[in-house]
Amino acid sequence: MMNNSNQFLGEYKSAPNAAAATVNITVNATGIAYKPANYAQWTTIQITEMAGIHTFNESNVVINFGVYPYQSIICRDDQFLQQLKLQCHNYPIIANLFKNGKSTFIKLMLFIAAFIIGLALIIYFFLLPWMVDKAVENFPSDYEKKFGKVMFDQVKTAEKWDESQTKLLNNFFDSLHFKSNYNIEILCVKKEDLNAYALPGGYIVVYDGILKKMKYKEELAGLLAHEFSHIKLKHTLKSTFNSIGFSALLQMIFGGFDDAVIGLLGNQTEQLRQLHYSRSLEQEADENGFNLMKEQQLNPNGMINLFERLKTESNDMIPTILSTHPLPEQRIKYIQNLIHENKFKVKDNKSLEVIFEKLKDDDEHAY
C-alpha cells in the first residue's frame, strides 16, 4: 500500500533465493531509494544502475540491480509503476515498460515504409522464419541456459513458491528418466491458476492449482513430458526469438551473442508465461511427449485425461493452460490417433506413485 504521494511499501532481496525484507521505497526523477522501516538512512539506486525492470501481472514490479545474480526491489502497488512513469519516463528502460506489445511491429512497419512496401512485406514474410530458425540453430547452448536461468530467477523473485512441492516435482521428473541434454529444474508456484509453462535452457514452472486437479501420476507425467518437449525441441527459444523483433534478430545473427543479448531475451519472461504456441508446435510437443512416455512404459492417456478433466471442472471458465496451449479438442484427437496407431506397453512405476502421493498429500496440507 502507498504511505504518501511518493512512498511505497515493498521488499528487498539480496539474491533470488534470499529472504525478503520489508522496505519503504521512494521514487525521484533519477531513480529510487529504499530503506528498512527502522533505518534512518536511504539507499539510492540510479536508473542507470538498474540491470532490468520487469512487470508481472501488471502491478508486480521487480527492479534488478548490482551484479548477477542481482539484488532486487519488489513492489506490488500498482501506483508504483505509474509513479515511475511520471518521474522517470525519459529513461528508455522505463519508457519500454509502457510500450504496447505491438511496438516492435510498428517500428518494423515504419522501417519498411522507407522502401517499397509491397516488396519489403514479401521479404519480411519469407525472411523472418528463416532468421528465427537460423538464430535458434546458431544460439550457443550455454547462452540458452544462461538466459533461461535469468528468466527463472525472475519468476522465483516475483512469485511465491513452495519449497517442499518444488523438491517433490523435481524428484518426480528425475524418476521419469527422460533422456536430456539439459539439467531440468522445476518450480512449483503457489497459485490457483491452472497453468504450467516452459522456459528456455531447461526450466519448467508449474502452478499448484493444476496439481490439485490431478488424480493420477500419468497426468503429471504427461504434463511434464509435454513441457519438457517444448524445451528439448527449442520451441521456447524459437517463440522468444519470434517476439523480440526484426532488428534484434539481425543483431543476433550477424553481431553475435553477448550479455546485452541475454538482457534483451531476459525481458521476455512474462510473454512466455502467456505464450500461445502454434498448432504445429503443440503437435510436435505432443508427439515427442507421447514417445517419451512410450519409451518409459507410461500410459500416454494421462495427458488426455488431464485435459478432459480441466475442461469439465472449469465449467464456463477457460483454464490458463488451455488458453496458452490452444486447440485442446484437436490435440486430444491427435494424441488419441497416436495411441491408436502405435503399440506400447504400460508398466506401473512404483517410485512415481510414491512421489505423486506425497505431492498430493503435501498439497492438501498446504493451505
pLDDT in tens, 347-366: 888 999 999 999 988 766 55
Query: Which domain CATH number covers 92?
Result: 2.30.29.30
pLDDT in tens, 167-212: 999 999 999 999 999 999 999 999 988 888 898 899 999 999 999 9
pLDDT in tens, 247-259: 555 555 555 555 5
Confidence of residue 1 (pLDDT cuts 50, 70, 90): very low
pLDDT at 306 over 50: yes
Q: What pLDDT is attached to residue 13? A: 94
DSSP assigned state of 30: T
Q: Are residues 94 and 148 in the same domain?
A: no
Q: In terms of DSSP H, where are the helices of 195-234?
A: 208-213, 217-232
Which of 108-112, 211-215, 295-299, 302-306 comes out lowest in average pLDDT?
Answer: 108-112
Q: Are residues 219 and 336 in the same domain?
A: yes
pLDDT in tens, 247-301: 555 555 555 555 555 555 555 555 555 556 777 888 899 999 999 999 999 999 9
Q: What pLDDT is attached to residue 104? A: 38
Please state, rounded to an integer, the average pLDDT across all residues of the chain.
79
Of 98, 122, 149, which residue constitutes the final position of a domain?
Answer: 98
Q: Are residues 111 and 148 in the same domain?
A: no
Which domain, by its residues, includes 122? 103-138
Q: Are residues 150 and 258 in the same domain?
A: yes
Q: Are residues 94 and 152 in the same domain?
A: no
Of 43, 69, 98, which residue constitutes the final position of a domain?
Answer: 98
Decide: helix, strand or coil at residue 175: helix
Strand partners for 280: none
pLDDT at 100 over 50: no
Of 98, 126, 158, which residue constitutes the final position of a domain?
Answer: 98
Q: What pLDDT is attached to residue 187? A: 97
Q: Are residues 200 and 330 in the same domain?
A: yes
The more confidently predicted of residues 251 and 142 is 142
CA dihedral 307, 305, 231, 354 (to 10 degrees): 130
pLDDT at 11 over 80: yes
Distance, CA of 259 to CA of 265 (rounded, Å) = 10
Q: In terms of DSSP H, where are the helices of the chain?
A: 78-88, 92-95, 103-113, 117-138, 141-158, 163-176, 208-213, 217-232, 235-243, 246-255, 259-266, 269-273, 279-295, 301-313, 320-324, 328-341, 350-364
Please name the amino acid found at residue 282. E
pLDDT at 125 over 60: no
Q: Are residues 36 and 161 in the same domain?
A: no
pLDDT at 3 over 50: no
Q: Are residues 236 and 192 in the same domain?
A: yes
Q: Are residues 119 and 214 in the same domain?
A: no
Distance, CA of 37 to CA of 16 (rounded, Å) = 22
Which of 104-113, 225-234, 323-332 comes out lowest in average pLDDT?
Answer: 104-113
Q: Are residues 343 and 269 in the same domain?
A: yes
Decide: helix, strand or coil at residue 367: coil
Does residue 24 contact residue 9 with C-beta atoms inside 8 Å?
A: yes
Q: What pLDDT is attached to residue 102? A: 42
Copy the grid coordinates of residue 189: 508456484
Q: Are residues 151 and 288 in the same domain?
A: yes
Q: Are residues 166 and 250 in the same domain?
A: yes
Domain count, the chain: 3
